[in-house]
Structure 1
């Protein structure tokens, strides 16, 4: 009888308005309801892809010339888009539409490949993310120093000694990131990504405009060629090889976003299917960035020729219109503030989720303390572990950036180390397993060939970047103001 009463009670249960409202705020797996669309996903992608890498593309094309430079750019664009379409189908497993959700890149690899490959993926992903945040700290400081030097030259004349240290601006950047790092998760970053995407369009457009103006000058004479910098004129034979390898790494870095693709996809609404929306967002994001990359790279090379600088915006010098170059560099800094958060949020989420699993009873790790914010009349939930650990992370990355402030070589090394495993190898291996492609079939063979070719490219570009870093270290003294 008791069982019948219980059954009757359950069968006649009516959800209260409060419970219904709460359920409306939850997804099918009990997590907070996602609100992302193809617009916000595209903004995240553009923020992640159009980063500091665009600034070195003119230099990269100068190393390879008019033929190989744009060809390599387009090849990386195609490969990145193709492998991203494989990766988005792995978000849910085993079925791409109705399978179980995987919230992070590492979880996807664990679900499909498991074991040691999951560990290798986690190592590659998080080393890359840490490297990117260090690189963005370096780049943001370079841009702000360019503004300060420009104003110094404008005020005191171009014969003045305007040597300004990057380090104070790295500290300022880190202080801003300490505050923004308290944003709890990716789902709260949409506004910041949209702002950062707007900034990336702004400084890229300014760079394009300045390049066109420089090319259109009547007295504009620069040396360009089909094969780039010339052996015996601009560089030695060995320098040509090493620089070409490094340039490939810079281009690989410029397209790096696979390491946060799943995290971006996890912000999308469940309907329409996430994989379909993410493919659309990936196409829009990569097409947009490729257009900017080709224009910035080729017009930057046309403007500066074989002497193209590592950062093509600072290469326009500190002459008129100095205010426009200042504005472009401010846009870079603002963009990198947002991009830093896009790349570090997966690190934060990983460490915090692992800590909660390890110490579920710890109030320090799991406790949330409500703090009322007077101005916005809202409430912020403070977690002391999140506050201390995220602050420590930002400080450590800033210190590393201050010790090794090498722009081009650092970007090339990050790009080369992460491109093959995260952008190519794991997406292909997971697609083969999930789609049950037979070993030795035509599709299996050409996917494996693509993977091995990209591995060779990553190895040679890493070698070029390491050689460049070694050259920089020979003449570098830490914590000394750079001229």
Structure 2
């Protein structure tokens, strides 16, 4: 836990609205007179390359890893791995560009941009700031819904697995996912009261460990399945026409691009993660780039292993959720462990993604109604001797309502695979590619029509085409799901 949490200091994001000197004086310490503060007057950041890597891994190795076997199944042994490698390179490259935008000007002493929107505001015009904010927070809302759906699927899988084991393979074992979505929502209401990003490192590290756990189990089961099959399934071009129609083949291939994009997406919270890194030297950008290299390399290896081994095990019948492809039978206990690890991971990943949205709304409310005690007052709640929790009624109310609404929407639209593809599609180009590229061009003063400028614009255009195509494929999938859809039933 950070020093901020240990000392029971005031809400980190509430201080964002205060001038550095005011923030220091509020704690009774003259600005610059204590080692407890950074150059901007905020409480000293304690993040390292390893905590940053854990945040990224928690965000990246999410439920998206489970759909990669299906995605490779649509593209085949040639295009599937190639597309995955391309997305990993693009993610790393644009993340490196974005990390250079954390400080405006000098990378060691320049003005800090605390959020993705702050970075856009410092480099681009007002309209682009508004578009960025809308897309970023819409994507975060979508991720919250997607993670709620994915967690409920894993909890239902545990329930059905135990039911089959107890009552026999012929038992219907029908399970409604709605109660499990509600359970997940209740847990998130409590965890959402953690005031800010800097205080969830422990949850992020736990979630990262869980992601390795279920990915490893999925990989091991895939290897065992390949051995049982007596060989590798699948084809060079993916699912064949005949198994599906030609049009379905096109739509599913496009949706696979969206699934892979979603599996790599974390740029929307990169600046917020970078803002937890301790002050230079070295610069926060250098630390963030090292964390990005580590994280993207690790996740790509896991993605390749899980996606390719899942496709090798199931071939054209690779499921949208890898773990459900192994059925609900023996080793049922191992599948239960994997699904439980998914749930714990998603509990943490939900917080990693949602904290920037929470902070944005709370800072906006503080600026709009600075004299409202409901919004600004914090109540001291004793936890242990010498430690207190600062309860803010606005934070309690609005964050709880957000979780409730996202849970209800999840109950209305339980389409895991198509939701994953659509989220990946709409968020990939603007947030992972376009804004980082445009900000980098402005910050580094890249001359128009220079070789570097043309290459960056070509990268952006190619990713835009992929985004539009992926979104179309995912929408087609959602339309297909709606034909047999019944609200609040699963």
TM-score, normalised to structure 1, is: 0.94
Mapped to 2, the partners of 1:310 and 1:322 lie a distance apart of 19
Q: Name the SS of the counterpart of 1:450 in structure 2.
A: helix
Q: State the match for 1:287 in structure 2.
A: 297
Mapped to 2, the partners of 1:359 and 1:292 lie a distance apart of 47
User: Is 1:340 aligned to 2:350, yes or no?
Assistant: yes
Mapped to 2, the partners of 1:214 and 1:331 lie a distance apart of 21
Any conservation in 1 of the 2:85–2:300 contact (CA below 8 Å)? Answer: yes
Task: From the superposition, tell whether residues 157 and 273 of structure 1 become closer, same or farther in structure 2 (CA, over 3 Å).
Answer: same
Q: Name the SS of the counterpart of 1:382 in structure 2.
A: strand
- 1:159, distance to aligned residue in structure 2 (A): 0.1
Any conservation in 2 of the 1:196–1:339 contact (CA below 8 Å)? Answer: yes
Correspondence list, 1:329-478, <5 A: 329-374=339-384, 378-478=387-487
User: Is 1:27 aligned to 2:38, yes or no?
Assistant: yes
Correspondence list, 1:55-454, <5 A: 55-217=66-228, 219-220=229-230, 223-232=233-242, 234-271=243-280, 272-374=282-384, 378-454=387-463
Any idea what the Cα deviations from partners look like across 1:231-269, whole Å, max 9, x if unmatched? 12x111000000000000000000010000000000000
Mapped to 2, the partners of 1:229 and 1:430 lie a distance apart of 40
Q: Name the SS of the counterpart of 2:46 in structure 1.
A: coil
Any conservation in 2 of the 1:135–1:411 contact (CA below 8 Å)? Answer: yes
Uncovered stretches (5+) of structure 2, i.e. residues with no partner: 1-27
Any idea what the Cα deviations from partners look like across 1:44-96, whole Å, max 9, x if unmatched? 00000000000000000000000000000000000000000000000000223
Q: Name the SS of the counterpart of 2:322 in structure 1.
A: coil
Any conservation in 2 of the 1:222–1:306 contact (CA below 8 Å)? Answer: no
Mapped to 1, the partners of 2:123 and 2:328 lie a distance apart of 53
Question: What's the Cα RMSD here?
Answer: 1.3
Any conservation in 2 of the 1:252–1:415 contact (CA below 8 Å)? Answer: yes
Mapped to 2, the partners of 1:343 and 1:294 lie a distance apart of 24
- 1:98, distance to aligned residue in structure 2 (A): 1.9
- 1:200, distance to aligned residue in structure 2 (A): 0.2
Q: Name the SS of the counterpart of 1:76 in structure 2.
A: helix
Mapped to 1, the partners of 2:150 and 2:117 lie a distance apart of 28
- 1:409, distance to aligned residue in structure 2 (A): 0.4
Q: State the match for 1:13 in structure 2.
A: none
Mapped to 1, the partners of 2:36 and 2:366 lie a distance apart of 23
Any conservation in 1 of the 2:233–2:311 contact (CA below 8 Å)? Answer: no
- 1:21, distance to aligned residue in structure 2 (A): 10
Q: Name the SS of the counterpart of 1:231 in structure 2.
A: coil
Q: Name the SS of the counterpart of 1:372 in structure 2.
A: strand
Q: Name the SS of the counterpart of 1:165 in structure 2.
A: coil
Any conservation in 1 of the 2:31–2:41 contact (CA below 8 Å)? Answer: no
Q: Name the SS of the counterpart of 2:244 in structure 1.
A: coil
Q: Name the SS of the counterpart of 2:34 in structure 1.
A: helix
Mapped to 2, the partners of 1:111 and 1:177 lie a distance apart of 33
Any idea what the Cα deviations from partners look like across 1:206-237, whole Å, max 9, x if unmatched? 000000011011x44674100000012x1110
Any idea what the Cα deviations from partners look like across 1:308-347, whole Å, max 9, x if unmatched? 0000011100111100000000000000000000000000
- 1:377, distance to aligned residue in structure 2 (A): 5.6
- 1:18, distance to aligned residue in structure 2 (A): 6.4
Any idea what the Cα deviations from partners look like across 1:184-205, whole Å, max 9, x if unmatched? 0000010000000000000000
- Structure number with greater Rg is 1
- 1:97, distance to aligned residue in structure 2 (A): 2.6
Mapped to 2, the partners of 1:18 and 1:87 lie a distance apart of 34
Q: Name the SS of the counterpart of 1:36 in structure 2.
A: coil
Mapped to 2, the partners of 1:121 and 1:298 lie a distance apart of 34
Mapped to 2, the partners of 1:223 and 1:80 lie a distance apart of 30
The runs of 4+ residues in structure 1 deviating greater than 4 Å are 17-22, 219-223
